[in-house]
Structure 1
Amino acid sequence: MTYDVIVIGLGGMGSAAAYRLAQRGKRVLGLERFTPAHALGSSHGGSRITRQAYFEDPAYVPLLLRAHEMWDQIERDSGERIFHRVGGIIVGDPDSGAITGSRASVEQFGLRHELLDASRIRERFPALRPEPDEIGLYEPGAGFVVPETSVQAHLALARRAGADLRFEEPVTHWEPGRVTTTRGSYEAGHVVLCPGPWAPELLGDLRIPFEIERQVQFYFTPDETLAGHPIYIWDRGTGFYGFPEHDGAVKVAFHHGGEICTPETIDRTVHAHEVEAIANATRSPMPGLAGTFQRAATCMYTNTADRHFVLARHPEHDDVTVACGFSGHGFKFVPVVGEILADLTIDGATRHPVALFDPARLRGGA
């Protein structure tokens, strides 16, 4: 059978792309090397922060506004709870990059927020213990999404729309119009690649130096409750981020700074010194957080040099679209990335602002 589109990789981005393409009437084949919603890539761990006060670049905010609308729609259509709006706070020195960047985004787009001094932070959120000169930017519309539920919901909706989804079928080779796996060969008018940390393997022809980074997600039983607290990002020292209690644990992690690896060489064992490091980092700003260690899990960031995404038609193949290099901050964009991939695949363009994600910037303009 010849398909209209083959989607390679059915994690966060690929599952959303398969759904949006099938929803628009395309004959879609989705291929995934592992089982649905697996824990061996980048779309797992029980929670991912979503926010619109985006210190990374205000250019992301229009995409986040659309993504928040689409999370609601995905929940209605799937019947699954994915987005938990618990609010979010970014804490740091007033001149820190996270604070100044977030303020730029909220002021440019008129986003709801509050600026809190240290005493107000402690009053509102007792588990947080800022230094006297630190401030917080609180965003009531922030929260977290559950990545596994998102993937499962998008896959179910894609199947409902007629997509042919195949799992435990690794891709061994692709070229425009044809994809070969361990089980066979398939033809399609267009190929969409959402390879996650397998980008260096499957997208070597992009000539982009992707860097795969091992990350650890830590889960604790806290010494004091974080129920009712927002998600939090601390821009102090090495910095860390985390979540209120969910599914019997609080989750906390460092953002970047992990070992460079590949999907084949990643160390899946979490070591005692790593647990000690996160406990030490949180001891002053959140002394009740790292009470009793429960468990930890590894995942991978696929980083670009500037930490912005790659989301575009392939520069050398007009019938190939790519989505990769999400650099540890991409999951909150999942539904709108699915929409963008469907636009680019079908129409060759999208109404969404994607100039920031042109791979030419990383290829020396090649």
Structure 2
Amino acid sequence: MSQHSYDVIVAGVGAMGSASCWHLAQRGLKVLGLERFDLGHAMGSSHGLTRIIRLAYFEGSHYVPIVKRAHELWAQTGEQAGMKLLHVTGSLDLAPKGGGPVESSLQSCLDHGLTHEVLEGSEVTRRFPAFQLPEGHIGLWQPDGGFVASEKAIYAHVGLAQSHGAEIRTNEPMLDWTPTAQGGVIVRTERGTYSAGRLVITSGGWIADAVPTLKERVSTVKQAIGWFTTRRPELFREGAFPVFILSADEGTFYGFPLYEHPGFKLGGPHFGREPIDPHDQDRTPSENQIRLIRECLARYIPDAAGEPLTVKGCIYTVSPDEDFIIDTVPGVPQAVFASACSGHGFKFASAIGEILADLSTSGQSPFDLKPFSLSRLPA
């Protein structure tokens, strides 16, 4: 096998890996990106046309500085690539009053000075008549939220990285890697052996293959998403309808305005995730997952409760506390990784790519990464 040398190798060129390639390449580094499937494939967690970006963050105020930076970078990257990646629609968190999610999102807005409104259920329905909310539900409106065009985002990052000299190899997964005595790494694939000074591991559901210490710390689950026939598409068009997170008795669901598909997209529910081995090639959602989504539509968004047009499954890599893990591989400071984004990571990808580039080049980040350290989780 031939051996080629790079400054940095990125293993996994999905949302975060493609962003890492771009942020590293624009710094003048020689970058190799290795992707196990085609670019923009549907085997991981970056497909499906759209991903929500929310600045009001019920998962914790500590996420807000990073997602604000991601918001800036999505706009900048779109301009640089000549693509519209960031669509600002406003975002709604919908939940029972006193139930927790709206109050936590509100706290994140107060902590970081985000523009927001707390809306009674009747006001939510007045503004967005597609919703039929249960008694006692309220909403948190944040006007800067929206969605990112997910596959386009990967293509944009890869195209920009290539324009700065990065080499991207698809259908070539990393088989294994080893640190060297000189402080670098050797990476092996079926096509060759590569050396580099640094390694960035962003392989999503397959992360435990590359970072074995994660095998007992993270799990992989299948989430269902679907696009459904609408009776009144005018209610769901971009500009008339926001992105949203809905917490209800049936679980937590998320949805989008119509975008590049005639159907209304809804994903969830949170508790409907099902364990999956990422090496299993079948991503078909179960009948139970689709049933739960359709029951949510029928009850809360009836004008979008038509027949399914497209259904897909995607893989989430989940940590026990559902917070991210961004760290160096234990004992190997030249290898950094990001994973276990637990189903809420795509929106951060532009900023996490920048963070991983920072960690690879300087060992530091301007953000507080302590909440995302591996050491917080029991071995």
Q: TM-score range by the shorter chain?
A: over 0.9
For 2:282 and 2:35, the matched residues in 1 are separated by 22
Q: How does 1:171-210 map to 2 (within 5 A)?
A: 171-176=174-179, 177-206=185-214, 208-210=216-218
Match of 2:248 in 1: 236
Match of 1:218 in 2: 226
Match of 1:24 in 2: 27
Q: Choose the corresponding residue for 1:102, options 105, 113, 137.
A: 105
Q: Is the Cα–Cα contact under 8 Å of residues 43 and 281 in structure 2 kept in the other structure?
A: no
Sequence identity percentage? 38
Structure 1 window deviating more from structure 2 (255-264 vs 338-347): it is: 255-264
Match of 2:274 in 1: 259
Match of 1:346 in 2: 361
Letter in 1 for 2:246: W
Deviations 1:200-247 (A, max 9, x none): 222113565210001111111212231211011111111211111112
Match of 2:182 in 1: none
For 1:239 and 1:341, the matched residues in 2 are separated by 30
For 1:179 and 1:205, the matched residues in 2 are separated by 18
For 1:266 and 1:306, the matched residues in 2 are separated by 27
Structure 1 window deviating more from structure 2 (179-188 vs 243-252): it is: 243-252
TM-score by length of 1: 0.96
Structure 1 window deviating more from structure 2 (190-199 vs 273-282): it is: 273-282
Deviations 1:8-47 (A, max 9, x none): 0000000000110111111111111111111111110111
For 1:36 and 1:267, the matched residues in 2 are separated by 18
For 2:242 and 2:174, the matched residues in 1 are separated by 40
Letter in 1 for 2:226: F
For 1:5 and 1:168, the matched residues in 2 are separated by 19
Letter in 1 for 2:243: I
Q: Is 2:331 the partner of 1:331?
A: no
Give the deviation of 1:315 after TM superposition. 2.4
Give the deviation of 1:280 after TM superposition. 1.0
For 1:207 and 1:36, the matched residues in 2 are separated by 26
For 2:361 and 2:40, the matched residues in 1 are separated by 26
Unaligned runs of 5+ in 2: 180-184
Q: Is 2:168 the partner of 1:165?
A: yes
For 2:377 and 2:291, the matched residues in 1 are separated by 37
For 1:116 and 1:344, the matched residues in 2 are separated by 41
Give the deviation of 1:99 after TM superposition. 0.8
| Structure 1 residue matching 2:303: 3-state secondary structure | coil
Letter in 2 for 1:350: S
For 2:89 and 2:351, the matched residues in 1 are separated by 21
Q: Is the Cα–Cα contact under 8 Å of residues 17 and 337 in structure 1 kept in the other structure?
A: yes
Q: Is 2:298 the partner of 1:283?
A: yes
Q: Is 2:142 the partner of 1:139?
A: yes
Q: Is the Cα–Cα contact under 8 Å of residues 40 and 47 in structure 2 kept in the other structure?
A: yes
Match of 2:370 in 1: 355
Q: How does 1:34-183 map to 2 (within 5 A)?
A: 34-176=37-179, 177-183=185-191
Q: Is 2:302 the partner of 1:299?
A: no
Q: Is the Cα–Cα contact under 8 Å of residues 224 and 290 in structure 2 kept in the other structure?
A: no
For 2:120 and 2:133, the matched residues in 1 are separated by 9
Deviations 1:30-89 (A, max 9, x none): 111111111111110111110110000100000011111111110110001111111111
| Structure 2 residue matching 1:284: 3-state secondary structure | helix
Structure 1 window deviating more from structure 2 (272-281 vs 60-69): it is: 272-281
| Structure 2 residue matching 1:288: 3-state secondary structure | helix
For 1:329 and 1:34, the matched residues in 2 are separated by 22
CA RMSD of aligned residues (A): 1.3
Letter in 2 for 1:236: A
Match of 1:269 in 2: 284
Give the deviation of 1:313 after TM superposition. 1.9
Q: Is the Cα–Cα contact under 8 Å of residues 222 and 285 in structure 2 kept in the other structure?
A: no
Deviations 1:281-325 (A, max 9, x none): 222221112212101011000001111111122221011111111
| Structure 1 residue matching 2:302: 3-state secondary structure | coil
Match of 1:11 in 2: 14
